[in-house]
Structure 1
Amino acid sequence: MSQTGHSLLVMKFGGTNMGDAAAIRHSASLAARSVDEGVKVIVVVSAMAGVTNQLLKIADDAQKGDIAAANDEIAAMRTRHFTAAQELGASPDSAAVREIREMHETLRQAVYGVYLLRELTPRSRDLIVAFGERLSAPLMSLALEQSGHRAKHLTGGEAGILTDTNFGNAKPLPTTYERIKDRLSGFMAAGVIPVVSGFMGETEKGAITTLGRGGTDFSATIIGKALHADEVWGWKDVDGVMSADPRVVADARNVDTLSYGEVMELAYFGAKVLHPLAVTPLQDSGIPLRLKNSRDPDFPGTLVQAEPNNDQAHPVKAVTAIRNVSLINVTGAGALGVPQVVASLFDAIARVNITLLMVSQSSSMSNVSIAVQSGDAERTLSALREVGGDLRIEEQDGVAVLAIVGSGMRGQKGVSARMFTALADADVNILMISQGSSELNVSVAINGAEVDQATRAVHAAFRLNEAPVAAD
């Protein structure tokens, strides 16, 4: 597919597309292909597959005092990066290998500091976990140079991404966009491909921050907005966004277009498509995001744009599920009649920074039910118990949240009924129901053991395996 009409693209490569030397070489060839057609390209890279989790484990081992385990993991990681560099053509005394060696030494020192203090602050964790992207960027530069292109790798901070100090989930500051433009425009004018370490930025004082899990998507869209890119391309190992998890639903198909709102709902409800905030920088500027398959680069993938492409016959675009959910029920008739008590419940949850997946409240205000990730349940329960009053708090674990997403549901009657009928026919019991006022989603809490059969039943009920009718 010729990229005629595009003069500037930001291309993001995820972990599987950075998995080893062969994957990195293939990813570099995809960027080079557009460059050779006269398109300016900025490359944004994730860590090599599995490295982020490895770094989190290293940090935890050091905090627990197991420095031997941490050092073993660092040594294994160093070998993996050295091997990739050599396979990409770097000699043992090259600048790339020297840089990788120095970075591993800095990582070792940071981890040793955690071990000595037995304390892992959010700031230290960000410093450690960002090494994944810092180490993969030189490998991508190497691959591009081997293919005859000039490249320059930069950390997120060096590329101009300036964030607040919310370590672990940092947001870009308004001045970021101008800074990125200043830092990257010169490279592009000189015909050099900037290779940016995704997922990371820095504070005004130069401390390294990360943008939250999946934050490389966010880095790419921030850079896309700053440089007024024609499109941002997210390269994956699937055909873009699917109508359901293809491992669960055999006839799931590619969704060709989604609106920004639809893709945010899908990301929020567990579809591993994007960082939930990734489209926010694009919404202001109307820049489209295209999710493409690196194994089939000519397939157009999924286009994410401002306007939804509604097809009356298919009001729902996709069905997705969040597993490992806990429902927490708070009851106490007298006490909950007071609005301040409800407010104090949500205040308590906000203080411990818990994301609520669903909320349901009975009209008498004697019962509030909330759904949270099971990993957050203990913290949520502790926070709620501190509210005091005559409240009974119960947890039900082993739950999943199933959601249907599509802007075509807005104003169309009978969508929820179709979903509930499909679930009833599949003998799935609904524990809790929530519909967003935007009418972009309907979500239900169900027994976790039934989530696969529920997904298949709902997918079939909305005929999501059928190709949508093109809008006029």
Structure 2
Amino acid sequence: MSGASTPPFSDPASSTTTTTNSDSESMHSLLSPPRTPPNLHQNSIDPDAKWLVQKYGGTSVGKFAVKIARDIVSNYLDQHKLVIVCSARSGKTKALGTTNLLLRAASEALHRPNPSIPATPGTITPFSHHLLRGIASGPSSPGNSSPTHGSSGFFNQSVSSSVIHGHFGFGNGGGGLPAFSTTVDLIRADHLSAARSAVKDPVILREVEGEIERDCEALRGFLFAAQVIDEISPRSRDSIVGFGEKLACKLMTAVLRDQGIDAEYVSLENVVPDSPDGDSSRMNGSESGVHETLDQDFYDRVAEAVGERLRQCAPRVPVVTGFFGPVPGSLLRQVGRGYTDLLAALAAVGLSASELQIWKEVDGIFTADPRKVPTARLIPIISPDEAAELTYYGSEVVHPFTMEQVIRRKIPIRIKNVENPTGGGTVIHPDPDLDVHAQLSHSELSLSEPLSLQTLHPFLNPSASSQTSSLKVPTAVTIKENIVVLNINSNRKSVSHGFLAGIFGTLDRFGVVVDLISTSEVHVSMAIEEHGLEKKVLERLTKELQKSGTVSSHRDMAILSLVGKQMRNMVGIAGRMFQTLAQGNVNIEMISQGASEINISCVIDGRDAIKALNLIHQSCLQIRPEGTKGRGPWLF
């Protein structure tokens, strides 16, 4: 590799690796901190500059990588210290997204090859079987020798070729590759195509192509090993899914450097610290922690470790994997597929960032889904409680647990649009006393800079508040479709606690989450999201619930939710909501109001969902102030 090259990938944590063969030395050069030409744009060196964490979703990374580097990241560097967190790339369809393909490959690895197809003779010795079992168990524990770069922390490239071809009987002359190999080829081809269309510098392109090739071969080798031992543990599945973020971040690092930005790829797969009691096996994701619930102390320690690692990158721009390695009980089980958002939140906490930005393909949070309600408007500021309610009931905002991590540290979250980077977006503000979103228009409040109370001071003075203190309006209305309602009538003349205990115990055994519930002493109605709930599971659940009483079900329903912090003291809002639905000939199956009193929800027929959404938006969110009757709706 030319001495003048500027490798886009750097992981100082692994830079101490020593190698002897020429191939390893070539890969080792990519681990060393790159020499930075003086014309590359770096993070601000101003000691007073604040950190700013930007998280980009898979669709944004997949479609707008160059735009992100050229039009967004470059505009923040002079005033901020940026951190970029990337999800795995999304495909043209959800099924072809990288994460879905990786999960599919993991499932395919457990399908045994057809014994009727002859394969190249090979021998699996006790030693190689032991080696494979170690490979498939997941990343090496701290203290082991550093993994070869491109191996993603658990598969040595020099081992993969010899083991696969010498012992597995696949590959050269084999009787056909397993299905997961084709899936890996899809992932490889997608990322190579994206790199070639986005990266113009031939040196940077050659390096990122090499990284993609090595990572995909490491993935293929890992899946071969898993197929031989016929096992994929939760920890192994985490590692397989983690390839998606690694590939996306390496690609984004190359694009940033190609656009003149000094970026550094950072893998956080080994960032999880040991537990305070020294039980490193548990903290590194051993199966003993499968049923363990991670407490806040765990996330605080991860945030501190992430912040310490990212500060080492200065003045380069860290491009960080959302995958942060093995955790007790498995990352997917404990956190779910939203772990990239969570990592971005933990990075913001660890760096005491001024703001966490979540970049999507929408301008922010609206009063209703603008695709279904033409009159929906952007909400410039919203409270965390309201954002959490909207997330629970159908709007894709930010997971409440992710919000909690930054809000408890008084860090605002801003939702921004990759396709409209100059727009203000929506700010989820941590100040519980801040209640101005119903009073401000988007044009009144400049949100081009990270939000602070000084920015909002003109809107928080007593005179400004008094002019609008009489205005009490909901914040948004949302719909959650694909709902099934289960009604259970007790068949016994028993006390209610036994009846309810039996129902909730059954739900717990089946792992079913209830969105809404309405109860009396002998009757329970439950609204459950049918999407993702297998038909057989629902049938078994219904059969089990019949032990407690008579069960009836209503499918293809929808939950309509009106959300607003000011609704606590809004007399008559529930009456207006239900009267509007009645006048629109929309039947209500069940009604529920949360204890927080910021949400009123009801279940309606799914066929009436869009009609009801527009009716409620027009009736409850477009309010005419006193003295303006007949002048048309007043939009706040």
The reply to whether TM is greater than 0.5 is yes
Deviates more, 1:52-61 or 1:250-259: 52-61
User: Does residue 275 of structure 1 match 2:384?
Assistant: no
User: Does residue 45 of structure 1 match 2:86?
Assistant: yes
Cα 1:170–1:155 change in 2 (3 A) is farther
2:528 aligns to what? 372
Q: 1:273, CA displacement in angstroms?
A: 1.8
1:108 aligns to what? 220
1:58 aligns to what? 105
1:131 aligns to what? 243
Q: Does structure 1 conserve the Cα–Cα contact (< 8 Å) formed by 2:490 and 2:522?
A: yes
1:8 aligns to what? 51
Task: Give the partner amino acid of 1:407.
Answer: K
Q: 1:454, CA displacement in angstroms?
A: 1.1
Deviations 1:338-373 (A, max 9, x none): 4033123223323433221111102xx211111111
| Alpha-carbon distance in structure 1 between the residues aligned to 2:284 and 2:403 | 17
| Alpha-carbon distance in structure 1 between the residues aligned to 2:269 and 2:611 | 45
| Alpha-carbon distance in structure 2 between the residues aligned to 1:9 and 1:344 | 49
| Alpha-carbon distance in structure 1 between the residues aligned to 2:330 and 2:337 | 18
1:183 aligns to what? 309
Secondary structure of 2:194's match?
helix
Cα 1:65–1:253 change in 2 (3 A) is farther
Q: Does structure 2 conserve the Cα–Cα contact (< 8 Å) formed by 1:400 and 1:447?
A: yes
| Alpha-carbon distance in structure 2 between the residues aligned to 1:103 and 1:238 | 32
Deviations 1:79-116 (A, max 9, x none): 11112223314549844222211221232234445555
Secondary structure of 1:331's match?
strand
| Alpha-carbon distance in structure 1 between the residues aligned to 2:597 and 2:202 | 54
Cα 1:267–1:457 change in 2 (3 A) is same
Q: Does structure 1 conserve the Cα–Cα contact (< 8 Å) formed by 2:580 and 2:616?
A: yes
Structure 1, unpaired ranges of 5+: none
| Alpha-carbon distance in structure 1 between the residues aligned to 2:284 and 2:425 | 31
Decide which structure has greater strand share.
1
Q: 1:398, CA displacement in angstroms?
A: 0.9
Task: Give the partner amino acid of 1:75.
Answer: D
| Alpha-carbon distance in structure 2 between the residues aligned to 1:203 and 1:129 | 12
Q: 1:128, CA displacement in angstroms?
A: 2.6
State the number of aligned residues: 459
Cα 1:69–1:416 change in 2 (3 A) is farther
Cα 1:352–1:31 change in 2 (3 A) is farther
| Alpha-carbon distance in structure 2 between the residues aligned to 1:82 and 1:183 | 29
2:163 aligns to what? none
Cα 1:431–1:28 change in 2 (3 A) is same
1:449 aligns to what? 607
Secondary structure of 2:305's match?
helix
Secondary structure of 1:279's match?
helix
| Alpha-carbon distance in structure 1 between the residues aligned to 2:103 and 2:577 | 39
Q: How does 1:407-446 map to 2 (within 5 A)?
A: 407-446=565-604
1:300 aligns to what? 424
Q: 1:449, CA displacement in angstroms?
A: 1.5
Secondary structure of 2:365's match?
coil
| Alpha-carbon distance in structure 1 between the residues aligned to 2:313 and 2:476 | 40
Deviations 1:109-136 (A, max 9, x none): 3444555566665444333322221210
Deviations 1:213-270 (A, max 9, x none): 3332222112111111000111111111111112111221111111111111111111
RMSD over aligned Cα atoms: 3.1
User: Does residue 34 of structure 1 match 2:79?
Assistant: no
Q: Does structure 2 conserve the Cα–Cα contact (< 8 Å) formed by 1:432 and 1:444?
A: yes
* Aligned-residue identity in percent: 29
| Alpha-carbon distance in structure 1 between the residues aligned to 2:204 and 2:347 | 33
Structure 2, unpaired ranges of 5+: 1-43, 91-96, 114-176, 274-282, 439-469, 624-632
Cα 1:288–1:205 change in 2 (3 A) is closer
Q: Does structure 2 conserve the Cα–Cα contact (< 8 Å) formed by 1:349 and 1:384?
A: no
Q: How does 1:52-451 map to 2 (within 5 A)?
A: 52-63=99-110, 68-87=178-197, 88=199, 89=201, 91=203, 94-113=206-225, 115=227, 122-158=234-270, 160=272, 173-188=299-314, 191-198=315-322, 200-203=323-326, 209=332, 211-306=335-430, 307=432, 308-310=434-436, 311=438, 313=471, 315-334=473-492, 337-362=495-520, 365-374=521-530, 375-376=532-533, 378-379=536-537, 382-383=540-541, 385-386=543-544, 389-451=547-609
| Alpha-carbon distance in structure 1 between the residues aligned to 2:104 and 2:472 | 44
Q: Does structure 2 conserve the Cα–Cα contact (< 8 Å) formed by 1:201 and 1:209?
A: no
Q: Does structure 2 conserve the Cα–Cα contact (< 8 Å) formed by 1:253 and 1:464?
A: no
Cα 1:42–1:244 change in 2 (3 A) is same
Q: 1:376, CA displacement in angstroms?
A: 2.5
Deviates more, 1:140-149 or 1:3-12: 3-12
Q: 1:427, CA displacement in angstroms?
A: 1.3
Secondary structure of 1:241's match?
coil
Q: Scaled by the length of structure 1, what TM-score is found?
A: 0.87
| Alpha-carbon distance in structure 1 between the residues aligned to 2:85 and 2:268 | 9
Q: 1:391, CA displacement in angstroms?
A: 2.2
User: Does residue 463 of structure 1 match 2:463?
Assistant: no
Q: Does structure 2 conserve the Cα–Cα contact (< 8 Å) formed by 1:321 and 1:403?
A: yes
Cα 1:282–1:381 change in 2 (3 A) is farther
Q: 1:39, CA displacement in angstroms?
A: 0.7
